Structure 1
Amino acid sequence: MQATLYAEYRKLDRGSEAQRSLAYLRLRRAIQNTIESGAFPPGQALPSERDLAKKLALSRVTVRKAIGGLVEEGLLTQRHGAGTFVAERIVKSFSRLTGFTDDLRARGLKPRVKFLERGVGEVTPEEAMALNLSPGADVIRLRRLRFADDKPLAVESTVVPAAVIADPNAIKLSLYDALEKIGCRPTRALQRLRAVALAEDDAKLLGCEAANPALAIERRAFLDDGRVVEFTTSLYRGDAYDFVAELHGE
């Protein structure tokens, strides 16, 4: 695997003087190409800065700059005292109705949430239509930044009927945990996905560049009796999530 990376760097180093980019950009591209080819799978450790510098005749400052850029993009992750690794992507299956917290716990990751908004207000016309509520009804609004092992992965805006949960402070780490406690965990959901470019404000929250690709998911979740208990719009980092659906023939 290391040989593949070294070969990729040398291939990028063979261009003319006019074509060749700065050394740290060539190394950055070589690492990215090696990851995208599958030669470095998620969780794979990279060679140490010292080994890369020695093998490729580069300074450690150059190596550090190349790796730092990929860490900022979310392609690599660094663990203190352990080294640099290819970032693990979160795989989300559409065959089961789970929340963000459930998905991370199932993969041994530590979920964390930062509330950007949490309060009660009057339902908007769009929210009333999504939740099947009458005009003037009260709703709980949540805007949350979701983390996995302290890495920001998603921004979520959620609306819940106040008739289901009256106190927004009852929702801590997981909305679905709060709903389950009162016997209102949803049993089915409708979701709509689309690819989007991150707006500047959302990109800043997620630690990405503006216009980076993201997945926007709109979810309406239902109880057995048909009531809608959740209307959520989520923005997921495109470099950190894979969504998988199992399909069957007729």
Structure 2
Amino acid sequence: MADLADQIFTTVKETGQQGAPLYLRLKKTIEDAVQRGIIGPGDALPSERDIALKADISRVTVRKAVQDLVKGGVLIQRHGSGTFVAPRMDRVEQSLSRLTSFTEDMARRGMTVRSEWLDRGVYPPSPDEMMVLGLSAKELVARVSRLRIADDTPLAIERASLSTAVLPDPEAVTTSLYMALEKTGNRPSRAVQRISAANLGEADARLLDVPAGSASLRIERISYLATGRVIEFTRSIYRGDAYDFVAELRLGGSEAIGDGQ
């Protein structure tokens, strides 16, 4: 371990980021060591004391750099065991141009999918649900919430809301929500999604098996039938270290003509 500490941290003062704070220079050194394979997935990091001594910096500086890397998913900490390089995860790439279910997306990739149900019930609607789904205060809303897991890795938390006129029994959803809706002729044909970045709170981070404060993608989706009726209101949280959303952009005809190119 001492040799590893020497190998990694003698470059802290030699890094090109001479104007950067020490903790950022240390953070960059550890990231580079992981990327170059000097330390690999599952390897233990030297102790804060060893790092501080070898790099001639304070343990407070070391702790700040390590905590930033834990939040970024580069390192993981195990209580009573130490700090380790996080296992590498193949990122999931999802197109924003196709309206498919999580189950269908993962099946196309040959991944084994399962869910842990967080909630399947009927409730009075919230103000947001009333507004989006067009419900009155006297109507009820069906909520289907679950942790989505692919190849034993928790990837997303989905919380869907639908009118009970469409989904009277949430318990009837056993695998794919869209497959259940298709059976009753209510599968959505289009959707509008809003994606934003956010740091995970403790409860959601615990479900996704990542540290609190880790990066995530929050997605609010409103889905429609071909008639234009809103059918689904879903708020999802995806792990930021596991998901990439991809959209194909095309130059519009009028803009292309106007550019004269």
Q: Normalising by structure 1, what TM-score?
A: 0.72
Percent identity of equivalent pairs: 44
**What is residue 199 of structure 2 aligned with on the other side?**
197
**Post-superposition shift, 1:226?**
1.4
| Matched letter for residue 145 of structure 2 | R
Instruction: Please tell me whether the aligned partners of residues 121 and 138 of structure 1 are also in contact (alpha carbons under 8 angstroms).
Output: yes
- Tell me the matched-pair count: 206
CA positional deviation for 1:157: 1.1
User: CA contact under 8 A between 1:12 and 1:26: conserved in structure 2?
Assistant: no
Which residue number corresponds to residue 116 of structure 2? Answer: 114
Give the conservation status (yes or no) of the 8 Å contact 1:27–1:63: no
Query: Which residue of structure 2 lines up, in the alignment, with residue 64 of structure 1?
Result: 43
SS at match of 2:185: coil
Counterpart position of 2:156:
154
Q: Could you tell me whether the CA contact under 8 Å between 2:121 and 2:144 is conserved in 1?
A: yes
Partner of 1:213: 215
Q: For each residue in 1:220-245, what CA deviation from the matched residue of structure 2 results, as whole angstroms up to 9, or x when unmatched?
A: 11111112111000011100000001
Contact between 1:12 and 1:20, CA under 8 Å: does it hold in 2?
A: no
Given that 1:13 and 1:20 are in contact with CA atoms closer than 8 Å, whether structure 2 keeps it comes out as no
Q: 4+ runs of 1 displaced by more than 4 Å?
A: 9-12, 25-28, 69-76
Q: Determine the C-alpha separation between the residues in 2 that align with 1:73 and 1:188.
A: 34
Cα distance in 2, alignment partners of residues 197 and 140 from structure 1: 28
Residues 163-199 of structure 1: CA deviation (Å, up to 9, x unaligned):
0111111111211111112121110001111111111
Structure 2 CA distance for aligned equivalents of residues 64 and 162 of structure 1:
50
Q: Offset at 1:75?
A: 6.3
Question: Gaps (5+ residues) in structure 1?
Answer: 1-8, 35-45, 47-51, 54-59, 77-83
**Is 1:226 aligned with 2:259?**
no
Native 8 Å contact 2:71 2:214 kept in 1: no
2:166 counterpart residue number: 164
When the two chains are superposed, the root-mean-square deviation of aligned CA atoms in Å is 3.3
Q: Amino acid of the residue matched to residue 159 of structure 1? A: S
In 1: Cα distance, 2:22 partner to 2:42 partner:
17
Give how far 1:12 is off: 4.7
| Gaps in structure 2 of 5+ consecutive residues | 1-5, 15-20, 46-65, 76-85, 253-261
Rg: which structure is higher? 2
